[in-house]
């Protein structure tokens, strides 16, 4: 199968959605500009025109409200935020209207709105261009949250999101944009609320959210080097969350480490641990742990930024401690083939 980037997968999914459904449109700051949101909207304006592909004023609150209004009228808008941080301007509409309209209007209306929001990382983007705030919407019933990691899932999740008759927050991590993988040309959808086992293992389960699924996958390779077998799960959907798949794995390995792509206090990792904690366990005591961004705003200085994020090696170290029961200061030697990708913009 041909390999394409995450960017191209998102672009292609959008193109096919717009092609196949005249109610689909895409809008948001700069979706129609020459840089076309990292290329994810490239060519759409020329193909579908300014009615279906339009940039907006800097007015996130009203533009979110407008998306909800359009969706109530039966359109299927995709609203793009080049930074998830800016979603904080949209919370009133998403929480108080979008997530509630179907219920509080007794089922008389619905809001098939997709919100694409990107998490920044690296190159000193700093405190306000780096946040993974999706857990704040996991907290709210009435809205779905999906965070695809691979180009394959990026395409299938976007198609599922736009066809979903409820609001969906579609989370992208910008480092993922450059990854490449096999992606079918035809349209397909990910099943709602289904996690993916990226790698099977027996000693410890590692669940990684969004980009952290890749880091977890790399961590499993470091662990393999020292004879530890890690099962890696990408939940893909954070709301609804696939408790079953995660629980089955944790029951098998007896250990679960959840890696957030944001702060883990009241985060996705907290939710995963809470679900595990509530489950029925026979006699074997499961070990449960989580990692997330350091509990502070993201510092731009490269030396501090490095310390801020979990990465394959710190994840491996944590998992090893869980398996061996010994918390030492072991860290694997960095393997060149498992290095994090570099990011130097565009911003």
Ligand X SMILES: Cc1ncc(C[n+]2csc(CCOP(=O)(O)OP(=O)(O)O)c2C)c(N)n1
Is 206 near another protein (CB under 8 A)? no
Vertex 265 angle, CA 312 and 249, to 5°: 55
Is 86 near ligand X (CB under 6 A)? yes
169: its two tokens: 């927050």
The count of chain residues that interact with another protein, using the rule CB under 8 A, is 78
The count of chain residues that interact with a second copy, using the rule CB under 8 A, is 51
Is 13 near a second copy (CB under 8 A)? no
Residues 7-26 that bind another protein (CB under 8 A): 25
Is 123 near another protein (CB under 8 A)? yes
Shortest Cβ 249–another protein spacing (Å): 26
**Which residue of the set 79, 81, 102, 129 is catalytic?**
129
Shortest Cβ 106–ligand X spacing (Å): 21
Is 249 near another protein (CB under 8 A)? no
Residues 261-300 that bind a second copy (CB under 8 A): 262-271, 273-274, 276-278, 281, 283, 285, 288-290, 295-297, 299
Q: Which residues pair with 114 in a beta bridge?
A: 78, 168
Question: Binding pattern to another protein, positions 275-294, x when CB under 8 A?
Answer: -------------------x
Question: Binding pattern to another protein, positions 27-66, x when CB under 8 A?
Answer: --xx-xxxx---------------xx--xxxxxxxxxxxx
199: its two tokens: 């790698």
Is 29 near ligand X (CB under 6 A)? yes
Smaller CB distance to ligand X: residue 6 or 86? Answer: 86
Concerning whether 129 is annotated as a catalytic residue, the answer is: yes
Using the contact rule CB under 8 A, the part of the chain among 97-105, 214-222, 223-231, 252-260 near another protein is 97-105
How would you classify the pairing of strands 255-259 and 204-208?
parallel
User: Quick one: three-class SS letters along the chain?
Assistant: CCEEEHHHHHHHHHHHHHHHCCCEEEECCCCCCCCCHHHCCCCHHHHHCCCCEECCCCCHHHHHHHHHHHHHCCCEEEEEECCHHHHHHHHHHHHHHHCCHHHHCCCCCCCCCEEEEEECCCCCCCCCCCCCCCHHHHCCCCCEEECCCCHHHHHHHHHHHHHCCCCEEEEEEHHHHHCEEECCCCCCCCCCCCCEEEECCCCEEEEECCHHHHHHHHHHHHHHHCCCCEEEEECCEEECECHHHHHHHHHHHCEEEEECCCCCCCCHHHHHHHHHHHCCCCCCCCEEEEECCCCCCCCCCHHHHHHHCCCHHHHHHHHHHHHHCCCCCCCCCCCHHHCCCCCCCCC
Residue with tokens 């405190």: 127
Contacted entry of ligand X, a second copy, another protein, none for residue 138, CB cut-off 5 to 8 Å set by kind:
a second copy
**Among positions 11, 81, 102, 318, the unique one binding another protein when judged by CB under 8 A:** 102
The count of chain residues that interact with ligand X, using the rule CB under 6 A, is 5
Contacted entry of ligand X, a second copy, another protein, none for residue 67, CB cut-off 5 to 8 Å set by kind:
another protein
Smaller CB distance to ligand X: residue 20 or 59? Answer: 59
CB 138 within 8 A of CB 147: no
**Among positions 163, 180, 194, 199, the unique one binding another protein when judged by CB under 8 A:** 163
**Among positions 178, 185, 302, 335, the unique one binding another protein when judged by CB under 8 A:** 302
Smaller CB distance to a second copy: residue 100 or 180? Answer: 100
Smaller CB distance to a second copy: residue 102 or 116? Answer: 102
Concerning whether 200 is annotated as a catalytic residue, the answer is: no
Q: Which residues are catalytic?
A: 60, 129
């Amino acid at each position: 199968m041909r390999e394409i980037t995450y960017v191209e997968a998102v672009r292609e999914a959008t193109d096919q959605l717009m092609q196949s459904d005249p109610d689909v449109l895409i809008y948001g700051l700069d979706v129609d500009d020459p840089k076309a949101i990292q290329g994810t909207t490239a060519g759409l304006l020329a193909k579908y025109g300014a009615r279906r592909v339009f940039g907006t004023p800097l007015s996130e609150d009203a533009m979110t409200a407008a998306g909800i209004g359009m969706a109530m009228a039966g359109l299927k808008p995709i609203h793009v935020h080049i930074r998830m941080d800016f979603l904080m301007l949209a919370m009133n509409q998403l929480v108080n209207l979008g997530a509630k309209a179907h219920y509080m209007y007794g089922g008389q209306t619905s809001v098939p709105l997709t919100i694409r929001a990107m998490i920044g990382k690296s190159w000193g983007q700093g405190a306000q261009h780096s946040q993974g705030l999706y857990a704040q919407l996991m907290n709210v019933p009435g809205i779905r949250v999906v965070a695809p990691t691979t180009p394959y899932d990026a395409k299938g999740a976007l198609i599922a999101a736009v066809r979903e008759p409820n609001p969906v927050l579609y989370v992208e991590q910008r480092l993922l944009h450059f990854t490449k993988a096999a992606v079918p040309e035809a349209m397909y959808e990910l099943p709602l609320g289904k996690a993916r086992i990226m790698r099977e293992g027996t000693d410890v389960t590692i669940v990684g959210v969004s980009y952290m699924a890749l880091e977890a996958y790399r961590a499993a390779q470091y662990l393999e080097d020292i004879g530890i077998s890690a099962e890696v799960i990408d939940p893909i959907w954070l709301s609804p969350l696939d408790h079953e798949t995660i629980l089955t794995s944790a029951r098998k390995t007896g250990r679960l480490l959840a890696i957030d792509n944001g702060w883990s206090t009241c985060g996705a990792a907290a939710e995963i641990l809470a679900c595990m904690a509530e489950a029925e366990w026979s006699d074997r005591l499961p070990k449960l742990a989580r990692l997330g961004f350091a509990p502070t705003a993201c510092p731009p200085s490269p030396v501090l930024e490095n310390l801020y994020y979990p990465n394959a090696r710190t994840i491996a170290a944590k998992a090893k401690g869980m398996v061996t029961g010994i918390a030492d200061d072991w860290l694997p030697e960095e393997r060149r083939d498992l290095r994090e990708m570099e990011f130097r913009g565009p911003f």
